[in-house]
Amino acid sequence: MSERSLLIVVLAAGKGTRMRSTRPKVLHRIANLSMLGHVLSRCQEIGAARVAVVVGPDMADVEAEAVARFPGAAIFVQPDQLGTADAVKAAGPLIAGHDGDVLVLYADTPLLRTETLARLRTRLAGDSDIVVLGFEAADPGGYGRLLCGPDGRLTAIREDKEASDAERAVRLCNSGVMGFRGRHLAGLLARIGNANAKGEYYLTDAVGIANGDGLTASVITCGEDEVLGVNDRTQLATAEAIFQSRARRAAMLAGVTMWAPETVYLSFDTQLGRDVEIEPNVVFGPGVTVEDGAVIRANCHFEKARIGPGAIVGPFSRLRPGADIGPDAHIGNFVEVKNATVESGAKANHLSYIGDGRVGSRANIGAGTIFCNYDGFAKHRTDIGAGAFVGSNSSLVAPVKIGDGAYIGSGSVITKEVAAGDLAISRSPQVAHTKWAERFRLRMLRHRDKKG
């Protein structure tokens, strides 16, 4: 199989009007990746040499996503929506010169497994010139039916509107995903007509033409959820739920503990190490890596962040892009970290904002500490040395540096560098006014009585 070149044609020209959105359907996201991105990821995993993405007119955003997710993807425009065969014909310049395998995939069918595509290729390497991916539908209404002869060979694909009553009783349905030996595809496409109820050019008609030429067509099957097509927001939510269930299961089988898996949201690229423990209600946005033995307490939200081995994060922590939490560090409740490194063994356990800076190893950040990183025009960095102690309710006005082992007195506003080992205190002196509170209360009570 590896000796045969693979071309994949991804059909992405649908307008998706049922999504009720200004965004093209295939750019709607599952696990923080567009549906088109999911399909193109499978193209990479299966080892496609070339990918053709067929789009509709004025779909520059879809073109950009295609090239971003599969660099080198060739973009072809289908001017009119005249059916699946018409869409595949748009990629004709690549198909004509290709003698290996060709797979036709759909950008709104994002849950296909790489293993299934590999089985398609294996069948093409054997005795089949065309392979169709089918599934047993719980409710086959509306799907094209796969009609097979006594020997199991695929004889025809009948669209639901064209099917007889007997054919509609067949539960083996067409997913739309097809594989071809490339040397046959261009000739088959050229002979597909549109004499049907919708006046469209159906790629499925290639099966009947191929049988007439003495070629062999066959079927492989997969689960219905794998070929779920997404046409509206409810189906998008269903696809999301399927992805999340798969991803959680894979994580747990790989050594992750989840207290309540159904409450944990994973992104398409979430990386979780062995013996990671995740409490309920945790959201992993894109670009998050959690290394071995880390503990994630409940109700956290992470995005584009790294959590080192043995670190403890949460509950109610937020890690924003650029957060890098070192080994055995602690990030506690209502602590937000953005574009900052918290080094090995450092702690910020309560109610703090750490933005644009570094917290050195074994340093302690007291409750209510704020890195004042923004002056209204630019961001500035705060650097806290190893073993430093920052007292509660301190404001560190960047750019500023706190040396190794330094102490910051609680309630301080620090605007200048603090040398290693020094104590810095910046607060107004405490003043006591004898009996002021008692006199104030009496005055206010008399005022209230006069008004009443």
What is the set of active-site residues? 350
Contact of 308 with 291, CB cutoff 8 Å: yes
User: How far is it, in rounded angstroms, from Cα 297 to Cα 294?
Assistant: 10
Cis status of the peptide bond prior to 399, with omega within 30 of 0:
yes
Q: Residue 229: which residues within 8 A CB-CB, separation 6 or more?
A: 106, 108, 109, 176, 235
User: How far is it, in rounded angstroms, from Cα 148 to Cα 159?
Assistant: 14
Q: Backbone phi, then psi, for 268, in 5-degree steps?
A: -60, -25
First to last CA, the chain: 94
If residue 348 lies in a helix (H) or strand (E), which one and from where to where? strand 347-350
User: How far is it, in rounded angstroms, from Cα 117 to Cα 105?
Assistant: 10
Helix boundaries (H) for 130-259: 165-168, 182-190, 205-212, 233-253
